Amino acid sequence: MDCQELCSRFDDRLDVAAYAGIDASENGLQVGPEERDVERVAFAVDAAVETIEGAAEAGADLLVVHHGLLWGGDGRVTDLRYRRIERLLDADMALYAVHLPLDGHQDLGNAAGLADVLDLGNRAPFGEIDGEYIGQRGRAREPFTVGELRELLSSELDTGGESVQVLDFGPDEIRDVAVVTGSGTDWIDEAAAKDVDALVTGEGKQQVYHRAREHGIHVFLAGHYATETFGVRALAGLAEEWDLETTFVEHPTSL
């Protein structure tokens, strides 16, 4: 498949254009020519030297990632960015990145994948940014205890051997759950406004401890990487439906 066609399919399916004004990531094809043939596609969470080299070893023509190399108009190609781009050029491999659109897509996104793990019903968009969403909320089919939800996350996610942290300030039974993957604790006020019992995210900030306690909400911190493998894996499934060979380059960070 032509690289431009493949990237356009991803862009359209994820509604990348809707996030253009709110996402610091330069979503879309970040490195490489549009007019080239793509037969094998590698997928990874992060565009790092290790994942780029892993994709090259797998013979990929294109690497698709959640966290790319170009952010916020910073156009300098030096130091780590230079080394990463150098690896891509050495391998003659293109790079496609998609950030917030992949967090928020209600079927293919990271939050949707994690909501599937939790088997949430009655789902609705959550995590609003300027009219768009980067998460989901829903209702547990059977209420969780804190221990049960923590154990489920620990067993189903690649946490790199690290434990799932819990700020245990909510009710004894957890029924309504909000999910924002990665760094999602900024949406705890929205969680409180929606009357959810728990916010499940990746990593926390100091201020969330007090906000969670004062709102009376549990916060589960399951790891940034661990909560954000779902989207790129879903895109790999799409690529396979389009008769492309795929590989997933795992590199958990324990963070």
SS3 state of residue 129: strand
Structure tokens at 185: 């604790």
Kindly give the residue spans of alpha helices, DSSP state H, lying in the chain: 3-14, 49-57, 79-90, 100-104, 110-118, 146-156, 188-193, 206-215, 230-241
66 is in an annotated binding site: yes
Give the span between the Cα atoms of 55 and 91, in whole angstroms.
9
Give the span between the Cα atoms of 81 and 225, in whole angstroms.
20
Give the span between the Cα atoms of 110 and 134, in whole angstroms.
9
Give whole-number Cα distances, 246 to 35, 44, 95, 239, 252, in Å. Answer: 20, 11, 14, 7, 19
228 is in an annotated binding site: yes
Q: Are 179 and 109 in contact (CB under 8 A)?
A: no
103 is in an annotated binding site: yes
Angle at 138 (CA atoms; ends 133, 141), nearest 5 degrees: 160
215 is in an annotated binding site: no
Amino acid in the structure at residue 220:
F
Cross-sheet strand order for the sheet of 218-221: 120-129, 132-144, 174-179, 198-201, 218-221, 165-167
67 is in an annotated binding site: yes
- DSSP class of 64: E
* Residue set of the binding site for a divalent metal cation: 66-67, 103, 224, 228
* Residue set of the binding site: 66-67, 103, 224, 228
